[in-house]
Amino acid sequence: MAGMTKQTYHIHISSKHRMLDLNLREVWQYRDLITLFTKRTFTLTYKQTILGPVWLFLNPLISSVIYAFVFGGIAGIGTDGIPSLLFYMSGNAIWIFFSGCVTKNASTFTANANVFGKVYFPRLTIPISNVLSSVIQFGIQMLMVLVLLIYYVVAGAVHPHWGAWLLIPLVLIHLGLLGLGCGIIISSLTTKYRDLAILVTFGVQLWMYITPVVYPLSQLGDGWMKTILMINPVTAPVEMFRYALLGQGTIMPGYLAYSWVVTIVVVIIGIMIFNKVEKTFMDTV
C-alpha cells in the first residue's frame, strides 16, 4: 500500500560477545514479544484455578488479616497510628511486587528451556516481562488498598503526602531492578545447582522479616536490629513507599543512595552472569 514503509531488522547472532552486553536496541525491537510474554506470565499464574484472578484480591487480604491477628493482636506490635488492615495490605502489596520479581525470574532458564532451545530472541525479554507482570499484579492489588485508603482518609485516620505519590513509580523501578538482578543471578546459578531453586521461597520469606513490611521501622529503636534492617537494600524504598502512600515512614536519602548503589551493582553482576550462562545453559539444564 502506498505511504507505508517496511522496517527491516538485521540480527547478527554470535557466540562471542561482551559479558555486559545489554543489547537494549535489540530488546526494544522485540517489545511486542515482551508484551506477549507479559500476558502469558500473568495468564498462566491463575490458569486452571477455580477462583482465577480473584486470588489477586484474596491472597493479600487473607495474608493481611493473618498479619493483623499475629503481629498486631498477639505480638502487640504497633503500626504508628495507621489502621492495621491498611498498614498490612499496603506493605503486602509492595512486598508481593518485589518478591514476585525475584521468584519469577529465579526460574527463567529452567522454566523456559524448551523455548530457548528452539528459537532465538533476546533472553532478557523474559525477565523484563516477569517484572512487568508483577507491575500489573501490583496495580490490581493497589485498587483494594486505595478503597481502604479513601475510607480512612474520609474518616480522618490517615493523612497521606499526596505530592509524594510521584515517588511511587520510582520505588517500583527501584525494586523492579533489584528483583530483576537478584532473580537472574539465582536463575543463572540454578542451571547447575538446583538446590538454590528450593531455597528461593524460604529465602524470600526470610527476607521479608528483615524488611519493615509487617512492622514499622520506628518499633526497633536505635539498636543493632535497626542497623541490620538498614543494611537491607529493600528497607529504604519500602519506607519511602509507606511515607508517600500513608503519610508515615521516613525518607532516608543516605540509605536510598546506598540501596541504589547495591541495586546497580546487583543488576550489572546479574547481566554479566546471565550473558555468560545463556550461551551454554542448554548443556546443563
Closest CA to 258 of 234, 275, 278: 234
- If you count them, how many residues does the chain have? 285
CB 246 within 8 A of CB 162: no
pLDDT averaged over every residue in the chain = 82
pLDDT at 266: 95
Tens digit of pLDDT for each residue in 201-244? 888 989 998 898 988 887 777 777 778 888 999 999 999 999 99
pLDDT tens, 186-206?
A: 888 887 777 677 788 888 989
The pLDDT of residue 267 is 93
Percent of residues, the chain, with pLDDT higher than 70: 85
**Residues 6 or more apart whose Cβ sits within 8 Å of residue 82:** 157, 158, 246, 248
SS3 92: helix
Sole residue written with cell 518478591: 99
Ranges 60-64, 186-190, 217-221, 269-273: which has the least confidence = 217-221
- The predicted structure's pLDDT at residue 177: 95
What pLDDT does 97 receive? 94
Average pLDDT over residues 79-94: 89
Cα separation of 174 and 177, whole Å? 5
